[in-house]
Chain A
């Protein structure tokens, strides 16, 4: 079992719809969770982080965390073609150095 798992996609949604990206992790001691967006050929850009169970909203983005189920998700409302990218889930497993373990990413395609 991989430490951080994501469906590689592509996840295709129509413009204006809600895109739902999911991530599961194996280490129950994980403390914090991050979502990065990576456009093709570019570097990852931080979108959101979440530490506590529940929802955290920032503009069109909502991160959801359920530690009991070891599950974190990212919802993108009113999806735009410019949201088309690969979304990386990263987890701080609470080990030395606040190392982040990255999932393989989910490719999102928003169709006009």
Chain B
């Protein structure tokens, strides 16, 4: 069974630009979670999508947004990039009948 996949692996942007990160969940998983992990810091919850709807969001400004597609894949968009947005962005997926989350390899975003 294929795991959670994320693309791209690395992304370099400059301040003010927009970044788009993508995630494909494990087959059969309907929930997708996005987390931010800045260097040396813990996981910060960003967004949760389930069945195509945004169900919850963490304490992040509105310029962090996303969506979930009918095939349950998801996209995270970060607008008006700031230097402090540089981090590892992690996607995790979950089957509806369980509470176990499985993580993808992450996208390393660098904002110059």
Contacts and interface: CB of A to CB of B under 8 A. Distances in A.
Interface of A: 31-32, 34, 36, 41-46, 49, 88, 90, 92, 96-100, 102-105
Nearest to B39: A41
Contacts of A45: 103
Interface of B: 31, 41-43, 45, 48, 50, 55-56, 88, 90, 94, 98-106
15 contacts: A31-B99, A34-B100, A42-B106, A43-B104, A44-B90, A46-B102, A96-B55, A97-B56, A98-B31, A98-B99, A99-B48, A99-B56, A100-B99, A100-B101, A104-B41
B43 A102 contact: yes
B55 A43 contact: no
Contacts of A97: 31, 48, 50, 55-56
Contacts of B43: 44, 88, 102
Contacts of B102: 46
Contacts of A43: 88, 90, 103-106
A57 to B, nearest CB: 18
Nearest to B6: A43
Contacts of A41: 88
A90 B98 CA distance: 15
Nearest to B96: A98
B54 to A, nearest CB: 11
Contact of A32 (B31, B55, B99, B103): B99
B100 A96 contact: no
B55 to A, nearest CB: 5
A97 B56 CA distance: 8
A92 B48 CA distance: 14
A99 B43 CA distance: 13
A103 B43 CA distance: 8
Nearest to B94: A98
A102 B42 contact: yes
Nearest to A32: B99
Nearest to B41: A104
